[in-house]
Structure 1
Amino acid sequence: MNKWIRGTNAVVLSLAVIGIFIVLTIFLNSTKSLQVDLTQNKQFTLSEQTLQTLKTLDKDVHLMAFTSSQTPEVMNREIVDIVQEYKKRNSKIVFDQYNIESQPEIAAKYEIDPAGTLVVESGTQKKTLYFYDMFQSTSETDYQFNGEQKLTQALINLNVKDKTKVYFLSGHNETPLNQMTLWRTGLEEQNYEVGELNLLREGKIPDDAQALFIIGAQSDLSDAEMTLMKEYLNGKGKLYVALNYSEQMAKWKNIDALLGLYGIKENKAIAIDPKNSRLVSPLTIIPEYGFHDITSKLQNSNLLMSMTLAIALDAQPVADYPSTMILKTTDQAYGETNLEQLAKGGTTKEDSDIKGPLNLGYVVETKDKKPKAVVLGGSTFLRDDVIGLQGNRDFALNSVGWLQEQKDQVTIRPRENQMQRAMVTGGQAQSIFYGTVLLFPLLFLIVGGTIWWRRRRG
């Protein structure tokens, strides 16, 4: 009788375990969006901008991947994976794959690269993304993939018809655009048309200029240029100024007057923070964020930015143009006022220096709460060699998005993912082999044999 009861219990327990396993399998299969990203930099987690874009996407979008025998497998795999993630979050996205060689009649309708092409189509609108543009490298073991960034921006652009024209001032030894290609590319992907403007040659500010940028000027504006700038800004014109250290800044008149239109003053002092971080020099500042739309998401995501040779700023109230501080140093920083000593490599703190905390960035609005200007004490973070560090790129693009009243462009964007294939050493391979092929099966045999032996004796 006891044997029969034990046998029955064993059968019931086995059926219960099998039933639980089946139910759990069905549940996990039904929750397709349930996933855990265990990578160090969350490289498989979609960004805030992507999730918001997919949430607000209200039109049917057809994604088509065209590949051939010339398409590297690593490219095809990454593209398909990222598109599948988009599909999970919006049912209006339809995805099809075509082989150029076996389906040439479909490929002939589009501008296709045999190495791989992703077409984003919605109604009469179409965007073509080439696989090679979404990869920094095509190595099978080590490459950078920015497909999310490209695809998300393509979806955003489906709703945009007109481009925003902005001009970067030249002629005063500003930071050249060819040293800010990543920022420029980011702006162009967000439907900005970027141009360069030399007022001495053109003699006027173009009528289509919706914002004027002065980045890292090393010499002052002329009186004639200042007159043109005032006329432009008295209308609907907007201004973006990012200063940088210059040996001539002590003699500036017109740049100071330009900032003074909005109550902003540059203090002829370079911010130095000797205890800011052991990873950077005292001349590199890791600013603290003020409370503002431009910086709030960076603050929440703990994404820092950096400035080198940043100029301390102050602001005085101006009735028509209220300003808000968005960047500042810690109270341990100070403003070096002896620029001659600084140029010679000296950074000794003196009584004449400005005590911290120092303000390094302001935004200016009109009395109607419309964005008018962005004024920053530093511009080095915009260069190609450092804009990719933590929050630099997002801050740069967010500040422009705020200035142009494009709230959907004030966000945390997709980041380029460094993909590395898992490398297993010889010792690790042996451990995996013995563990999976020998140890675990042996363990089950021992447990099973023990149970069988005890039942037989009992």
Structure 2
Amino acid sequence: MRTVKSEELPTGRGQKGEKTPPMSKGKFKTGKWKYGSVSALMLAMVLLALIALNAGVYALEKNKGWRIDLSFNGILSQSAETKAVIEKLDKPVEIYALFRKSSERDWLELQELLNKYAASSDKITWKQVDPAVNPQLLEQFSTDNLVPGESNFIVWCEQTNRFRILGGEDFMGLEYNLETGTMEYDSLTFESAITGAIAYVVKDRVPKAVILQGHDEYELQYLTDFQNLLEANQYEVEYQTLRDNEYTPDPEDLLIFFNAQKDLTDIEMTKLTEFAAKGGSFLFVCDYSAPMANMPNYMTLLRSYGFEPLDGLVRADPLDKNSYYESNQYFLLPVMCSTDITMDLVGLGRDYLIIPETRAFAEPEEGDRNLNVSVVLRSADTAIRQIDRTNIAPSVTDGYPLALEARRITTESYVSRAFIIGCGEVLISKYLYSVTHCQELTVNVMEFLLQNDGTGLNITPKDAARPGLKTESLSLGSILLIALPLSVLFAALLVLGPRKNR
């Protein structure tokens, strides 16, 4: 038998004894290796593109503010009022966020909001400051009435050397809950607080409120909360006496009479007439206790603005339970009319007030073209004016005016403004600040009289609580949640499809 040599064995594919030839480089260019390398290369390119896209988008978000706000309350969106304030900025503004490093996760949303402001203008910058390690900064911005602390914002303009401290109540809106009968925090006011502070600190002149003395007005101890409120909103507060020959009112300031009990002298009237002629404005508090019949000069000043105080107290009809507070018929729940002072409050539903023991005023008559008078607060149409224990005035159809605002064009073509209210507690009571919207009304009155648009802007608060999910709640965010996974699946099919067919 002839012996068969190994080299004579068949070498066909599948034959027993077949030798596997060494793998050549050409194999990478054919078959599964070809498509495997292409897939890996495509995957690497996609990953690099995603990384570059993410870095680019992040830079645009932070530096240009190119971020779509998909939050349920639009917390990062800027209103037209904010954009208008930012566009007019001509001075640099710095914002210090006083938060500890360990609490960064708790205020990520606020960081994004500040990034949005900084991206909107090269005049705005911000940085985080740990208050525990930088006490010098806190000392620099401390006042007699307010010391900044953790979770506060400091908005500062170096050119004007003016600042505002924000925090706590500045960022939350109060709303009256009819079911519980209490005031509750229900909205976020970050945008209105920050924008208002920016507009204020860049102003060239600080608004000043001058509280006049010398006519048995309120004692100073009762004005502490009012003064604190004004100073917290960065108004200057001064106390002056008109009888002082050295003091002449500046028409840029606001003069405040807190329930004068004595009449003005002729010399004082001359000063006030000249003040009004140059566009000076007044705030009058005229309680029911003021003896108006004995103050002819003072009455002349009030009537020049269309104000006519009525004698007596206004009390509610006991059958009209919705017109007074709890069981006290002299604690009225007034109707807030929509005027220059209250338009934003009415629009936002921040119109819950309590007016205790108030005087009423005559319905303003139709004035000439130089005088415009509007009712700001009005009693219910069932209210009664009680002149004394036995004397009751006839009822009126629309209720009694309890507060009025006026604009008067002077002979020198200036605009002089005035506001009058029949109860000072509305403006000065810290308790009423906390349980009603009296604080918001007081700030709006100041802005109207001083023509100051830097403290309060008509910016709608954001909802604090997420609304319940409904079928009609589908939004762009919901669409993206579905679209993104589908796009990844589609990309995977494009890559894996050719491999499956091989």
Q: TM-score range by the shorter chain?
A: 0.5 to 0.7
Q: CA deviation at 1:258?
A: 1.8
Q: Counterpart in 2 of 1:63?
A: 95
Inter-partner Cα distance in structure 1 for 2:77 and 2:355:
25
Does 1:97 find its partner at 2:128? yes
174-183 or 298-307: bigger deviation: 174-183
Is the CA contact (8 Å cut-off) linking 1:167 and 1:211 kept in structure 2?
A: yes
* Aligned counterpart for 1:241 among listed residues 271, 284, 293: 284
Please point out which of 355, 364, 386 is paired with 1:307. Answer: 355
1:11-90 → structure 2 map (5 Å cutoff): 33-36=69-72, 52-53=81-82, 56-58=85-87, 61-65=93-97, 81-88=109-116
* Contact in 2 for aligned 1:166/1:193 (Cα 8 Å): yes
Deviations 1:433-453 (A, max 9, x none): xxxxxxxxxxxxxxxxxxxxx
Aligned to 2:442: 396
Which range moved further: 236-245 or 247-256?
247-256
* CA-CA distance at 1:119 after TM superposition: 5.1
- Partners in 2 of 1:410 and 1:96 — Cα distance? 24
Q: Give, as a single letter, the amino acid of the residue that structure 1 aligns with 2:113.
A: E
TM-score, normalised by the number of residues in structure 2: 0.58
Q: Deviations over 1:340-368 (max 9, x none)?
A: x3xxxxxx7x5545545111222222246
Structure 2 vs 1, CA of residues 34 and 205 (structure 1 numbering), >3 Å: closer, same or farther?
A: same
Cα distance in 1 between the residues matched to 2:441 and 2:141: 35
Q: For 2:138 and 2:335, how far apart are their aligned partners in 1?
A: 52
- Rate the CA distance shift 1:68–1:414 in 2: closer, same or farther, 3 A: same
Specify every segment of 5 or more residues in structure 2 that has no aligned partner in the other structure, as ranges.
1-53, 55-60, 143-147, 170-184, 465-502
Tell me: CA distance 1:45–1:170, structure 2 relative to 1, closer, same or farther (3 Å).
farther
Q: CA deviation at 1:241?
A: 0.8
Shift of 1:82: 3.4
Deviation at 1:83, TM superposition (A): 4.4
**Residue 361 of structure 1 aligns with which residue?**
403
Partner of 2:424 in structure 1? 379
Equivalent positions of 1:336-355 (< 5 A) are 336-338=386-388, 341=389, 351-355=392-396
**Are the structure 2 counterparts of residues 413 and 167 from structure 1 closer, same or farther at C-alpha, using a change threshold of 3 Å?**
farther
| Residues 328 and 78 of structure 1, relative CA distance in 2, 3 Å threshold | farther
TM-score normalised by structure 1 residue count:
0.63
Q: How does 1:81-160 map to 2 (within 5 A)?
A: 81-88=109-116, 91-92=119-120, 94-98=125-129, 111=140, 118=153, 120=155, 124=159, 134=167, 151-160=194-203
Alignment equivalent of 2:337, drawn from 264, 267, 290: 290
Give the Cα–Cα distance (whole angstroms) in 2 for the partners of residues 100 and 409 of structure 1: 26
Measure how far apart 1:409 and its partner are. 4.6
Give the AA of the match of 1:63. I
The residue correspondences of 1:151-300 to structure 2 (distance < 5 A) are 151-176=194-219, 178-202=221-245, 204-207=247-250, 210-246=253-289, 248-274=291-317, 275=320, 276-279=323-326, 281-300=328-347
Match of 2:500 in 1: none
Q: Does structure 1 residue 326 correspond to structure 2 residue 350? A: no
Question: Secondary structure, in 3 states, of the residue corresponding to 1:156?
Answer: helix
Cα deviation, residue 226, structure 1: 3.4
| 1:118 and 1:128 in contact (8 A); partners too | no
Distance 1:193 1:240 in 2: 15
* Distance (Å, rounded) in 1 between the aligned partners of 2:132 and 2:236: 37
Spell out, residue by residue over 1:158-201, the C-alpha distance to the aligned partner (whole angstroms, 9 max, x if none).
42111223311122332345534444344345553221112234
Indicate how the Cα distance of structure 1 residues 224 and 55 shifts in structure 2: closer, same or farther if over 3 A, else same.
closer
- Structure 2 Cα separation of the partners of residues 361 and 108 of structure 1: 43
Task: Report if the CA contact (8 A) 1:263-1:317 is conserved.
Answer: no
1:118 and 1:261, CA in 2 relative to 1: closer, same or farther beyond 3 A? closer
Q: Offset of 1:215 from its aligned partner?
A: 2.0
Say if 1:303 and 1:64 are closer, same or farther in 2 by CA, change over 3 A. closer
Distance verdict in 2 for CA 1:64–1:194, change over 3 Å? closer
Whole-angstrom CA distance in 2 between matches of 1:46 and 1:391: 26
Aligned residue for 1:395, secondary structure, equals helix
RMSD over equivalenced CA pairs, Å: 4.5
How many matched pairs?
A: 360
Q: Partner letter of residue 334 of structure 1?
A: I
Question: Based on CA coordinates, which of the two structures has the bigger radius of gyration?
Answer: 2
Whether the 8 Å contact between 2:196 and 2:456 is mirrored in structure 1 is: no
Q: Name the CA distance, whole Å, in 2 between partners of 1:371 and 1:79.
A: 44
Which residue number corresponds to residue 406 of structure 1? 452
Cα distance in 2 for residues equivalent to 1:202 and 1:414? 47
Amino acid at match of 1:214: F
2:358 and 2:423 in contact (8 A); partners too: yes
Deviation per residue, 1:371-399 (Å, 9 max, x gap) = 42222222211122213443212222212
| Structure 1 residue 108, shift from structure 2 partner | 8.7
User: Whole-Å Cα distance in 2 between the matches of residues 78 and 266 of structure 1?
Assistant: 53
Distance in 1 between the 2:333 and 2:267 partners? 37
Work out the CA distance in 1 between the residues paired with 2:425 and 2:218. 9
Identity %: 18
Q: Quick one: structure 1 residues 101 and 90, their matched pair in 2 at CA, closer, same or farther if it must change by over 3 Å? A: closer
**Structure 1 residues 254, 281: CA separation in 2 closer, same or farther (over 3 Å shift)?**
farther
Report the alpha carbon displacement of residue 329 of structure 1 after superposing the two structures with TM.
1.3
1:323 Cα offset (Å): 1.7
User: Structure 1: which 5+ residue stretches go unaligned?
Assistant: 1-25, 38-43, 137-143, 342-347, 419-458
The alpha carbon displacement at 1:268 in A equals 0.9
